């Protein structure tokens, strides 16, 4: 499956990564090589094989519905780039 620059642009947009024109061509080249390597998968017959998402066949444990966390806002917001009145600030979001 050939990779085109439009694919890289689209992935960069979805992943919110700024990519300059220069970088884009480099990524097309690198990613193409990686995908060529990945494409070896297509030669393998996996008919009837169930996908495996986790290496162990374990099931989800459930947590009791208890409030175990207390307010740590000040601690958590010490590493925040911009806060005011306890809110995280971002450039205005237009709805």
Partner 1 sequence: MYEKTLTQLAAALKSGEFSSRELTAHYLQRIEKADGKLNSFISVTAEQALKHAEIADNARAAGTAGPLAGIPLALKDIFCTRDVKTSCGSKMLDNFIAPYNATVVEKLNAAGTISLGKTNMDEFAMGSSNENSYYGPVKNPWDLTAVPGGSSGGSAAAVAAGLIPAAMGTDTGGSIRQPAAFCGITGLKPTYGRVSRFGIIAYASSLDQAGPMARSAEDCAHLLGVIAGHDGRDSTSVTRGVPDYVENLNAPLSGLKIGLPKEYFGDGLDPDVEKAVREAVKVYESLGATVREVSLPHTHYAIPAYYVIAPAEASSNLSRYDGVRFGYRCDNPSDLIDLYTRSRAEGFGEEVKRRILIGTHTLSEGFFDAYYTKAQKVRRLIRQDFLDAFEDVDVLMGPASPTPAFDLGAKKDPVSMYLQDIYTIAVNLAGIPGISVPAGFSNGRPVGLQILGTHFAEAQLLNVAHQFQQATDWHLQRPAFAEEYA
Partner 2 sequence: MQWETVIGLEVHVQLATRSKIFSGASTAFGAEPNTQACAVDLGLPGALPVLNEQAVAMAVQFGLAVHADIAEVSVFDRKNYFYPDLPKGYQTSQMYHPIVGPGDVEITLEDGATKLIRIHHAHLEEDAGKSLHEDFHGMTGIDLNRAGTPLLEIVSEPDMRSAKEAAAYLKAIHSIVTYLGISDGNMAEGSMRCDVNVSVRPTGQEAFGTRAEIKNVNSFRFVERAIAFEVERQIELIEDGGSVVQETRLFDPDRDETRSMRTKEEANDYRYFPCPDLLPVVLDQAYLDHLRSQLPELPADKRERFQNELGLSAYDANVISASRDMAEFFEAVHNECGDAKQSANWVQGELSGALNRENLSIANSPISARQLGQLISRVLDNTINGKAAKEVFQALWNGQGESADDIIDAKGLKQVTDTGAIEAMIDQVIADSPAQVAQYRDSEPEKRGKMIGYFVGQVMKASRGTANPQQVNGLLKEKLDALL
Among partner 1, partner 2, none, partner that 95 touches (CB below 5 to 8 angstroms by kind): partner 2
Task: State the Cα–Cα distance between residues 85 and 87, nearest whole angstrom.
Answer: 6
C-alpha distance from residue 81 to each of 3, 18, 90, 94 (Å): 36, 20, 10, 21
Site membership for partner 1, residue 18 (CB under 8 A): yes
Site membership for partner 1, residue 78 (CB under 8 A): yes
HSE (side-chain half, CA atoms, 13 Å) at 36:
7
| Residues 6 or more apart whose Cβ sits within 8 Å of residue 18 | 12
* Cβ at position 46, least distance to partner 2 in Å: 17
Among partner 1, partner 2, none, partner that 81 touches (CB below 5 to 8 angstroms by kind): partner 1
- In the complex, the residues that contact partner 1 under the rule CB under 8 A are 1, 3, 7-8, 10-12, 14-19, 27, 30-31, 33-35, 37-42, 44, 46, 49-56, 58, 60-61, 63, 72, 75-76, 78-82, 88, 90-93
């Amino acid at each position: 499956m050939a990779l085109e620059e439009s694919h890289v642009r689209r992935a960069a947009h979805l992943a919110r990564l700024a990519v300059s024109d220069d970088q884009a061509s480099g990524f097309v080249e690198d990613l193409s090589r990686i995908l060529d390597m990945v494409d070896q998968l297509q030669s393998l017959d996996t008919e009837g094989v169930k996908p495996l998402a986790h290496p162990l066949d374990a099931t989800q444990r459930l947590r009791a519905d208890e409030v175990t966390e207390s307010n740590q806002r000040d601690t958590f917001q010490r590493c925040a780039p911009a806060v005011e009145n306890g809110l995280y600030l971002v450039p205005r979001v237009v709805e």
